[in-house]
């Protein structure tokens, strides 16, 4: 009987998570091992990492229940941090992040715009990015604005 209750609980939670993911509007943005400056303004979920550099987060919906998490710790609604191995997550709401440095990896789901400005290394590598299900392209080394999801 307990096993049946546990199975039903797991199925209920799984359906709830799948339903919430289906309700998340828009599309996606991915940056892999970027080098340069990346400003992302959006609504939805975003997770990322900066190997070496700076991160600025501005929560554009400060009255909601969601706070940014940085390096596994919930933080205030606005923050700026410099260092190595910075990880971050914003679970919901509207946000603006600026990540600058080496090894910037970001995955955003929802809607918004990204301003990408690659800084080529000695061999010209700036990292890669994609919007939606498109193929990975090099991060442009000139400031480029790109929307993701349905921007209204």
DSSP one-letter string for 77-110: SEEEEEEEEEEEEE-SSEEEEEEEEEEEEEEEEE
Q: Say what percent of the chain tops pLDDT 70.
A: 82
Kind of pairing, strands 128-131 and 78-90?
Answer: unpaired
Q: Which residue has the tokens 């501005």?
A: 58
pLDDT of 52-82, one tens digit each?
999 999 989 878 888 888 998 878 788 999 9
Distance CA 98, CA 96 (A): 7
pTM equals 0.79
* 70 token code pair: 């940085």
């Amino acid at each position: 009987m307990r096993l049946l209750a546990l199975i039903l609980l797991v199925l209920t939670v799984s359906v709830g998570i799948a339903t919430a993911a289906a309700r998340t509007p828009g599309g996606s943005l991915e940056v892999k091992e970027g080098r340069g400056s990346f400003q992302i303004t959006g609504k939805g979920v975003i997770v990322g990492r900066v190997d070496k550099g700076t991160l600025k987060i501005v929560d554009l919906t400060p009255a909601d229940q969601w706070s940014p998490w940085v390096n596994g710790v919930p933080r205030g609604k606005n923050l700026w941090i410099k260092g190595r191995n910075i990880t971050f997550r914003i679970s919901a709401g509207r946000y603006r992040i600026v990540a600058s440095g080496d090894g910037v990896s970001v995955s955003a789901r929802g809607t918004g715009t990204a301003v990408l400005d690659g800084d080529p290394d000695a061999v010209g590598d700036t990292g890669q990015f994609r919007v939606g299900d498109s193929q990975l392209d090099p991060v442009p080394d000139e400031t480029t604005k790109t929307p993701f999801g349905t921007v209204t």
